[in-house]
Structure 1
Amino acid sequence: MRIGVTAVMLSDQTAFLTRWAAYLSDRTQTSVSFVVRDQYRAVMELMSAGQVESAWICGYPFVRYQSSLRLLAVPLYRGMPQYQAYLIRPRGTTTPQSWSDLRGKVLAYSDPLSNSGWLVAQAQMAAAGVASTDLRGQFFAYGHRNVADAVAARLADAGAIDGYIWDTMLKLGMQGALQTEVVWRSTPCGFPPFVTPSLVSPASVEPLRNALIEMSKDPTGQGLLDSLNLSGFVDGSPALYDSIRQMASQTPNSGVPS
């Protein structure tokens, strides 16, 4: 069984995914492997081509392509299936203090299909009356960890980032978080889910769903969750992503109908 993922924030990503794949292989009694890509679009293409049976994606591509997807499991962060998007700036600076302060600034994004790394920024800038043309520039860092690093290095004046990833980087003592600070937090959004293409038989991925949901019940699984800074997994519901769906429907060129 193949699982598509984008790069995680861990410094030992390859070693961690190898351990996680071995754990899931043991629990599902089938061979499990992770297929890593830099962007959500590439992961979505893997699913469309039938090259993966599941994927860990973001809430925005889930609502955009929901007609061809099915929820498999939703991670719990701090005990909840939700997270927040952040706007960050270099630590020790005084601006920006809000989205309206981005005029003439460089804003770092992570992925054009990311909720926290693109969609939220588009919606908040529109609400603040800031157009993309008002920015001095855009820095596409591809990956939330790279957004934090770009802002820390002052390649960008601010960054739109996944709050769970920034919090985890801070917990791990990573410089991208230590040298940046949060100036704005969104309301809670549905956490990036594990999904499966709707054409894949539910029975064929049921062992994977069960293995994810059972991870918090044994020491090895809990250790893997601790490495991800997650509490566990639950079934979840499409309703978790209603706020993202509504925001996308009101954002031009989001691909989600109004």
Structure 2
Amino acid sequence: MAGMTLVANARMYAATPAAAAAWKLFFRWLADKSGVDLAVIDYAFPAPLAALWSRPDLGAAFMCGFPFVRSQYRPKPLAAPIPAGARYAGRPVYMTDLVVRADAPYRTLEDTFGGRLGYTVEDSHSGYNALRHHLLPYRSSLRPALYGKRIGPLYTPRRVLEAIIDGTIDLGPLDGYALDLTKRHEPAVAQRVRTLATTDPAPIPFLIASADCPDEIVHRLRSALLSFGDDPRCAELRDALCLAGFAPVVEADYALIAAWDQEAQAAGYSCPA
């Protein structure tokens, strides 16, 4: 891999065009700070994320913890984002906001039962696993299914947001950090939905490099990322990305995500419904 240009992409958190542009600036800063040659590539839906995560020339891209803990050939973790905002308490965590249209009549989560539930994709934590974990206590032998119809896969938080706004679904799961970015850059869009409930926090998706990426390059990228929160040159970029900084990835923390999956499977609740 010596002399090779590595690729970088923020597909998971390119929540709006302005956020995507800010991530491109971020990766340029990362390349400059680390001395690693990074080429920022476009990789929009419907291109499969699994193909991005398995690229041998991957230098930096976000990966969800759910597919990471289920992977047999894991990429190398770089660092985990620390979203700005009081609810994150300075930790590399996130939540799923369960949202409805702003003008919908629902006042509680239970009010949506019997309606149409959306989800992103089965290997998503925020759009599937966390949603299922939050709904699990509401189920019973008399009510094994909470919703009349399950609609998906919708694949991305943006498509969930659009499905809520256009009335295709009644309730949908939105990655809380992706929703933060939408509120920051497209407040008029974000104001068209309303949060009814929020899941428990879980370890957030983190930046990875290829499993074949040399350790020396991984170290340089990781060191640069961990300095992002304190770099005075990055104040405007942190604001644009709704970030406080980055933290080391503690792989053991992501066992929580696997535990939530196992709990739902054991209860016979393989699909949120």
TM range (shorter): 0.7 to 0.9
Equivalent position of 1:95 in the other structure: 106
What are the within-5 Å matches in structure 2 for residues 1-258 of structure 1? Answer: 1-7=6-12, 8-38=14-44, 42-65=48-71, 68-78=74-84, 79-95=90-106, 97-98=108-109, 101-103=112-114, 105-129=115-139, 134-252=147-265
Deviations 1:69-103 (A, max 9, x none): 33210111232111111111111323372268432
| Partner amino acid, structure 1, of 2:97 | Y
Contact 1:87 1:185 in 2 (8 A): yes
| Shift, 1:232, TM fit | 0.2
Deviations 1:88-134 (A, max 9, x none): 1111323372268432x222223332211111223334443366794
Instruction: Pick which of 179-188 and 33-42 moved more.
Output: 33-42
Instruction: Pick which of 68-77 and 172-181 moved more.
Output: 172-181
Give the SS at the match of 1:26. helix
Contact 2:63 2:205 in 1 (8 A): yes
| Shift, 1:13, TM fit | 4.5
Give the SS at the match of 1:224. helix
Q: Distance in 1 between matches of 2:9 and 2:144?
A: 34
Contact 2:81 2:92 in 1 (8 A): yes
Q: Which runs of 5+ in 1 are unaligned?
A: none
Q: Using structure 1 for the length normalisation, give the TM-score.
A: 0.84
Identical residues among aligned pairs (%) = 21
Instruction: Pick which of 172-181 and 222-231 moved more.
Output: 172-181
Q: Which runs of 5+ in 2 are unaligned?
A: 1-5, 85-89
Higher relative contact order (CA 8 A, sep 6+): 2
Q: Distance in 2 between matches of 1:45 and 1:168?
A: 25
Change (3 A) 1:220 1:89: same
Q: Distance in 2 between matches of 1:250 and 1:67?
A: 24
Q: Using structure 2 for the length normalisation, give the TM-score.
A: 0.80
Change (3 A) 1:23 1:43: same
